[in-house]
Amino acid sequence: MTERNRLTIAILALGGQGGGVLADWLTALGEAGGYFAQATSVPGVAQRTGSTVYYLELFPLADKQPVLALMPAPGDVDVVVAAELMEAGRAMLRGFVTGDRTTLIASTHRIYAIAEKSAVSGGLADGSKVLEAAHRSAKAFIGFDMDAAAQRTGSAISAVMLGAIAASGALPFGREAYEDTIRRSGIAVEANLKGFAAGFEGRDEAPPPAPALDVDGIIAEGMRRLNEYQDAEYAALYVERLKPFEGKLRREVARGLALWMAYEDVMRVAQQKIRARRMDEVRAQVNAGPGQILHIVEYMHPRWQELCDTLPAKLGARLERGGALKRIFAPMFERGRHVRTNSVTWFLVLRLLASRRRARRGTWRYAQENARIERWLALVREAAQSDYECAIELAKCQNLIKGYGETQARGLRKFVDVTQSWQMLRSRPDAARLLRSLRETALRDEDGTATAEAMRKLA
Amino acid sequence: MAERSFKAEVEQLRLSAGQEFRGEGILAVTKALLQAGVAYVGGYQGAPISHLMDVFADAADLLKELGVHFETSASEAAAAAMCAASVNYPLRGAVAWKSVVGTNVASDALSNVASGGVTGGVMVIVGEDYGEGSSIMQERTHAFAMKSQMWLLDPRPNLPSIVGMVEKGFELSEASHTPVMLELRVRACHVHGRFIAKDNVPPRFTVQHAANDPVRDTERIVLPPANFLHEREKIESRWPAAVRFVQDNKLNEHFGPKDGEIGIIVQGGLFNTLNRALELMDLSDVYGNAKLPVYVLNVTYPLIPDEVRDFCAGKRAVLIVEEGQPEFIEHELNTILRRADLQTRIVGKEILPRAGEYTAQVLGDGLAKFLGTEKQAAVPVSASAPRPPSAPVLTALDVPQRPAGFCTGCPERPLFTALKLVQRELGQHHVSADIGCHLFSILPPFNIGNTTMGYGLGTAGASAFRRQDGKRPIAVMGDGGFWHNGLTSGIGNAVFNRDDSLTIVVDNGYSAATGGQDLLSSDAANDNRSTRHAIETAVRGIGVTWVKAIDDTYDVLRMRDTLRQALTSKDRGPKVIVAQSECMLNKQRRTRPLFAKAVKDGRRAIRERFGVDAETCTGDHACIRLSGCPSLTIKPNPDPLKSDPVAHVDNSCVGCGLCGEVSHAEVLCPSFYKVQIVFNPNWWDRATAAVRARVIGWLR
């Protein structure tokens, strides 16, 4: 093969991530460093949130103009830069990353694709597969959370990526040359130099994720939560209810029971919204400066049903069914409310609602949830005697009940469907497997049709 | 004003002879047009040629100095019709658009101008939107060149070649009295490179001269008997003149050795990819010194029979690298060889894919096959296709697809949220979509839309369903499509034929999908164009009586109720909802600097954005299925008892308000909140904040 003098660089980024800015910097860097620089891309509709490839070739300046390619050829790419983990995966899928040549520089953070985000449950792609592939396929792999570094330094991810490229040594330019490129571009120079430096250092600074709780940890967390939710007596009831369960089943029941007993009602939501530490969380989430004045507007929609839920059981049940009062007052509960939590009036209202939790045990909602919990526990206990694995599956069914309003009602129907199917399946040897597949179908099912279909097939 | 400002690029248009131009391919074309002395330029924006239109729009002063007329045409048809200026007068003109779609729209006028022929050179610059990154049907502009007989230029994709071809193209057009098309693929339009500039040339004869001193020649008008004359002229004089010009000026090129048993003929635009594939097989170098003869067609129509004969004579086989289908060039080559009675075998689509982009990998595979079958070839290497050395370690299933979608805070999103909600009540309707950002509705999470029939044709696409008594069809149309032709072919058509359909016109103030150019109904004042012509007025003017303009698309409930009303109303006749909110991408571009300045100057300013209480979120993601906003995403559940990821609003949120509206409309969980962050608070802000903090602190 004739001598290969070119340097080839592919950048994979999402629309709006600054892949074009990075390509411009590298072009300017190459031109200032005595190279003929060619860069191109196929932005088009992908500029609107899709994924795009930018491609550059650098060739030492000579009298003649070289013939450079306009797209990466598999096996011929020196540097691949991916602005997100799955884009690194895409680069590998397309054959751009090869062990003999390619330095792969990727941000390991995730920007979830719409299919991942909109799944009712689960649906996340497995990032570890991509990381493993990156280590295996690339000549050198530099991967860290460049998005976090950008946020930490108040710069753009493109600046961090440029820093990582400089540090990789894959291109024949010194750090100064890169920094001069940023300076010459004249846009947000200070911030981008900081981002560049963070990229040059190139490491993750986030603490490792907390390990999963063991059964004792779950129970401790459940008790803490229910104590706050109601009182010590309620937490004691939780522990009492857990007594008949052992082993793996105990763990599943402990988790589901804590969540179910701390079901979300008006009092709970009010309690959560006015907690002192919540204001700090909000401040952190919106990057507000210290002492900066904030207003918080909640989107709430207490419905007639929620009102009935908080009333004493008999009254609540009667009003929910109908009657003159419902006809007159229910329309007042059909629209959403904008609640300004940090105004004195609304704070008082929420505080009053939160304090109603002392009367919770007498409410209509409590009566219903308590009965459902008891039925569920009885079912799991019964199953445990004949088929332990089935019992675990039934315990896990608590996770089907989610959300509020119509979502919660649909979840409840799915829960009832799946748990009741056990009576039909219990005589079968593979009952646990069938139950699991049914539960998993129901988890991913938005409107209940897939669950009904799966049930019909089993019957 | 377009999404991007081209002030710096406009300066490059002023470069004089000997100075170096550095920039994008399509911008090099703008400079080349000025160097060629164009008198008028027009076109319709669309990827990949939007920047040509944008940079000319930003260069109004320079164009005035030079006496060049520039027009943002209403459609490609309008642009093509403008070329009528070159029929009688020695005016050079250029028009540009996205192809093949733009050429479809323009083809009526193109046929006419090609039939009568031109006096001044006419160049049609087509951005061939084919292959990766394309958003349209995969067809070839080549067919239009052949059927109307316009010469098709396909230069090698480097700036000097492209710029040179603009200059030569005008000369060719004038020498043969035929309009020419300059075909630039997506990557060539966006390629950054350099070339040595020449001075700009003001047109010797301007459009004013022509208007003041009109000339008429009935033989140039397409009407019998001249139309029959035109056809003969094309064959007897214009075609031979073009062939002579191409030959004399050596517009096509040769690379590699003169002779060989096998050779390659390639479209100019594909040369660089071919050369790279050859290089990776050690059959060429970085300067194109191929080890086998290569004949580069910088003019792909017409072919030059003498050149083809000379190249093929003495060769056993010739590979034709021609992207897309049908393989017009391959057919023509075979015809030429048959007529010349040469036995050279033309190998093309029998080994190269019939469909799809010709990437380096595809060409490498094809070359390997070609050299493999032509074993005795005098090529001094073992031919093997370039291959990634290691087997792939990931499968397509491991990497989620990333379809394009609405931008963060897009005002079109709530429209489809409302449509999704109303269809839950009334059942699914037939939805006829159009071209524009709103076509993203067909993708997740909305999955709305049955067909799309072309720009501005959303309403017409629903017209067959007009007389049914069942559900009303719904058509969606953008403001771009509306002014392009939707007002007449859609709304007017519906009025005249007594349709009972609903048309939603998305009025976001810009031609948004093509880069945020102004149009008739834009709200912005524009120094060089007349804006602020309301869509509602136009719709009423053409005869629609049921029209509702909604000036806040983020009001999902109002939008839903209006949609329901339109779909269930007893009124007969077409219904039109004009959904008006400013394109968020352009709004941010407009308002961000203003906000930053206000904060810097110490003026009170409020920034809004949304958040989610992770504790209250139940992880069911119903909110995402009604939005799909990039800023509304997910994160690991901080609750150690829960495993499903929770919704999360990231820092890119622009506070459009849709999240809150959706949670109200659908009674989702009460986890969404809006935060108003006050910058430079006044005394009242500070006083109330202090009182609140004290009282609430005490109450806690």
Kindly report, residue by residue over A66-118, the tens digit of the pLDDT: 999 999 999 999 999 999 999 999 999 999 999 999 999 999 999 999 999 99
Alpha helices in B193-318 (DSSP H): 207-212, 226-233, 239-248, 271-280, 305-312
Which chain A positions have a beta carbon within 8 Å of B440's beta carbon?
Answer: 48
Q: Among B248, B264, B294, which residue terminates a domain? A: B248
Domain boundary among B231, B248, B265: B248
For B26, nearest residue in chain A (alpha carbons): A40
Residue B692 has its nearest CB partner, among A130, A258, A343, at: A343
Interchain CB contact of A66 with B (< 8 Å): yes
Q: Is B392 in Cβ contact with A93 (below 8 Å)?
A: yes
Beta pairing class for B451-452 and B40-43: unpaired
3-state secondary structure of B251: coil
- The answer, yes or no, to whether residue B106 has pLDDT greater than 70, is yes
Q: Are residues B157 and B83 in the same domain?
A: yes
Task: Name the E strands within B268-411.
Answer: 294-297, 299-301, 317-321, 345-347
Sheet strands side by side (includes B502-507): B451-452, B431-433, B474-478, B502-507, B575-580, B546-550
B257 by Cβ neighbours in 10 Å (0-12 / 13-18 / 19+) ranks as middle
| Residues B87 and B187 grouped into a single domain | yes
Cross-chain residue pair B628–A1, CB shorter than 8 Å: no
The reply to whether residue A90 touches residue B399, judged by beta carbons under 8 angstroms, is: yes
Asked if residues B444 and A118 have their Cβ atoms less than 8 Å apart, the reply is yes
Note whether residue B206 is domain-resident.
yes
Q: Do both B571 and B612 map to the same domain?
A: no
Q: Kindly determine whether residue B133 and residue A44, on different chains, have CB atoms separated by under 8 Å.
A: yes
Distance from CA of A365 to the nearest CA of B (A): 17
Residue of B nearest to A296 (CA): B675
Q: Which residues of A touch B364 (CB under 8 A)?
A: 73
Q: What share of chain A is helix, strand, coil (3-state, %, to 5)?
A: 60, 10, 30
If you write DSSP's letter for every residue of B398-455 in order, what string do you get?
Answer: GS------PPTT-TTHHHHHHHHHHHHHH----EEE-SSGGGGGGSTTT---SEE-ST
Tell which wins on pLDDT, A44 or B390: A44
Distance from the A272 Cα atom to the nearest Cα atom in chain B, whole angstroms: 8
Per-residue pLDDT reduced to its tens digit, B257-280 = 999 999 999 999 999 999 999 999
Q: Are residues B616 and B672 in the same domain?
A: yes
In a domain, B405, yes or no: no
Asked if residue B667 is part of any domain, the answer here is yes
Largest CA distance in chain A: 93
CA-to-CA distance for A55 and A81, rounded, in angstroms? 10
Element (H, E) at B262: strand B262-267
Q: Which domains does chain A carry?
A: 7-201 (3.40.920.10), 215-365 (no CATH), 366-458 (no CATH)
**For the domain that residue B292 is a member of, what is the CATH number?**
3.40.50.920
Instruction: Name residue, tokens 């012509």.
Output: B533
Number of continuous H segments (helices) and E segments (strands) in chain A:
22, 8
Question: A121 in contact with B at a CB cutoff of 8 Å?
Answer: yes
The Cα A145–Cα A203 span in angstroms is 8
CB atoms under 10 Å from CB of B365, counted, come to: 18
- Predicted confidence at residue B467, as pLDDT, reads 65
Residues of A in contact with B624 (CB under 8 A): 117-118
Q: Tell me how many residue pairs between chain A and chain B have CB atoms under 8 A apart.
A: 345
The answer to whether the CB atoms of B675 and A296 lie below 8 A apart is yes
pLDDT of res. B382: 47
- pLDDT of B410-433, one tens digit each? 999 999 999 999 999 999 999 999
**A439 Cβ under 8 Å from any chain B Cβ:** no
Q: Which chain A residue is nearest to residue B289, measuring alpha carbons?
A: A67
Q: Please compute the mean of the pLDDT values over residues B34-50 and round it to a whole number.
A: 96
Q: Of the candidates B192, B389, B392, which has its C-beta nearest A99's C-beta? A: B389
Q: What would the two tokens of residue B20 be?
A: 């170096």
Cβ neighbors of A423 (< 8 A, separation 6 or more) are none
Domains in chain B: how many in total?
Answer: 4
Taking CB atoms and an 8 Å cutoff, what residues of chain A touch B129? 44
Phi, psi of B524 (to 5 degrees): -75, 145
B570 and B452 in a single domain? The answer is yes
Q: How far apart are CA B517 and CA B45, in angstroms?
A: 8
Q: Are residues B38 and B75 in the same domain?
A: yes
Q: Of B373, B403, B434, at which residue does a domain stop?
A: B373
Task: Give the model's confidence band at B377: pLDDT under 50 very low, under 70 low, under 90 confident, else very high.
Answer: low
User: Is B100 in the same domain as B226?
Assistant: yes
In terms of domains, do B30 and B131 share one?
Answer: yes
Portion of chain B with pLDDT greater than 90, in percent: 87
Which residues on chain B are in Cβ contact (under 8 Å) with A282?
Answer: 611, 673, 675
Q: Which residues of A touch B154 (CB under 8 A)?
A: none
CATH at residue B14: 3.40.50.970
Residue B472 has pLDDT above 70, yes or no: yes
Mean pLDDT of B146-156: 98
B634 contacts A116? CB cut-off 8 A: yes
Is it the case that residue B391 has pLDDT exceeding 60? Answer: no
Q: Given B129, B437, B670, which is nearest A300 (Cβ)?
A: B670
Mean pLDDT over each residue of chain B, to the nearest integer: 94
Burial of B637 (0-12, 13-18, 19+ CB in 10 A): middle
User: Does residue A379 carry a pLDDT above 70?
Assistant: yes
Secondary-structure percent of chain B, ordered helix, strand, coil, rounded to 5: 40, 15, 45
What is the distance between the alpha carbons of residues A287 and A264, in angstroms, rounded to a whole number? 28
Look-up: residue for tokens 């949830």?
A369
Look at residue B85 and tell me if it is in a domain.
Answer: yes
- Are residues B128 and B134 in contact, defined by beta-carbon separation less than 8 angstroms? no
Closest by Cβ to B394, choosing from A39, A92, A100: A92
Q: For residue B511, list chain A residues with Cβ-Cβ distance below 8 A.
A: none
List of chain B residues whose C-beta atoms are within 8 Å of the C-beta of residue A31: 22
Please give the Cα distance from B638 to B644 (Å, whole number): 10
Residue with more model confidence, A64 or B506: B506
The verdict on B285 and B426 lying in the same domain is no
With CA atoms as reference, the chain B residue closest to A72 would be: B360
| Mean pLDDT, rounded, of chain A | 92
Q: Is the CB of residue A336 less than 8 Å from the CB of residue B700?
A: no
pLDDT of A399 strictly over 80: yes
Hey, how many other C-beta atoms are within 10 angstroms of the C-beta on B552? Answer: 14
Q: Does a structural domain hold residue B403?
A: no
C-alpha pair distances (Å), A271 with each of A274, A362, A370: 6, 18, 21
- Residues B679-690: tens digit of each pLDDT: 999 999 999 999
Shared-domain flag, residues B420 and B433 = yes
Both B163 and B267 in one domain: the answer is: no
Q: What average pLDDT does the segment A146-163 reach?
A: 95
Smallest Cβ–Cβ distance between B360 and the set A14, A48, A73 belongs to A73
Which residues does chain B have within 8 Å of residue A348's beta carbon, measured at their own beta carbons? 699
Residue B74 included in any domain: yes
Residue B382 falls within a domain, yes or no? no
Residue pair B512/B583 in contact (Cβ under 8 Å)? The answer is yes
Burial class (CB in 10 A: 0-12, 13-18, 19+), B392: middle
- Is A191 an 8 Å CB contact of chain B? no
Confidence check on the interface: ipTM exceeds 0.85, yes or no: yes
B224-253: per-residue pLDDT in tens? 999 999 999 999 999 999 999 999 999 999
Is B396 a member of any domain? no
B571 and B613 belong to one structural domain = no
**Which residues span the domain enclosing B312?**
253-373
Question: Is A67 in contact with B287 (Cβ distance < 8 A)?
Answer: yes
- Mutate which: B627, B667, B682, vs A, most A CBs within 10 A: B667
pLDDT at A1: 47
Average pLDDT over residues B526-549: 96
